[in-house]
Amino acid sequence: MSSLKKFSFIFLVFIIGSFIGFVWENVFTIIKGAYHLRQGLLYEPLIPIYGIGTLIFYFIYSKTEFGDNKLLCLLKVFLLAFLVGGITEYFCSFFQEKIFGTISWNYSHMKFDLNGRTSLLHSSFWGLMGIFFYTIIMPLLRKLKNILENRTLQFCTILFTFFFLCDVSISFLACYRRDERRNNIENSSTIATFLDTYYTDDVIDRVYNNAVAVNK
pLDDT at 37 over 70: yes
The model carries a pTM of 0.84
Residues of the chain with pLDDT > 90, as a percent, come to 56
Q: Nearest-CA neighbor of 17 among 144, 118, 107, 106?
A: 144
> What pLDDT sits at residue 66?
80
In 101-212, alpha helices (H): 120-132, 138-147, 151-182, 190-198, 201-207
Q: Which residues of 29-47 are buried (b: 16+ CB within 10 A; e: fewer)?
A: beeeeeeeebbbbbebebb
User: What tens digit of pLDDT does each residue of 44-89 get?
Assistant: 999 998 899 889 889 988 888 887 888 899 999 999 999 998 998 9
> What pLDDT sits at residue 156?
87
Residues of the chain with pLDDT > 70, as a percent, come to 99
User: What tens digit of pLDDT does each residue of 124-155 get?
Assistant: 999 998 999 899 988 888 888 777 777 788 78
Q: Nearest-CA neighbor of 41 among 50, 31, 54?
A: 50
How many CB atoms sit inside 10 A of residue 192's CB?
17
> What pLDDT sits at residue 207?
92
> What pLDDT sits at residue 216?
57
Coil, strand, or helix at residue 156?
A: helix
Q: Alpha-carbon distance 205 to 100, whole Å? A: 13
> What pLDDT sits at residue 1?
59
Confidence of residue 164 (pLDDT cuts 50, 70, 90): very high
Confidence of residue 182 (pLDDT cuts 50, 70, 90): very high
Average pLDDT, the chain: 89
Confidence of residue 198 (pLDDT cuts 50, 70, 90): very high
In 32-137, alpha helices (H): 48-63, 70-100, 120-132
Q: Nearest-CA neighbor of 208 among 172, 162, 169, 161?
A: 172
DSSP-derived pairing of the beta strands 212-213 and 102-103: antiparallel
- Residue ranges of the domains in the chain? 3-163
> What pLDDT sits at residue 107?
94
> What pLDDT sits at residue 42?
95
What residues have CB less than 8 Å from 182, skipping those under 6 apart?
Answer: 101, 201, 213
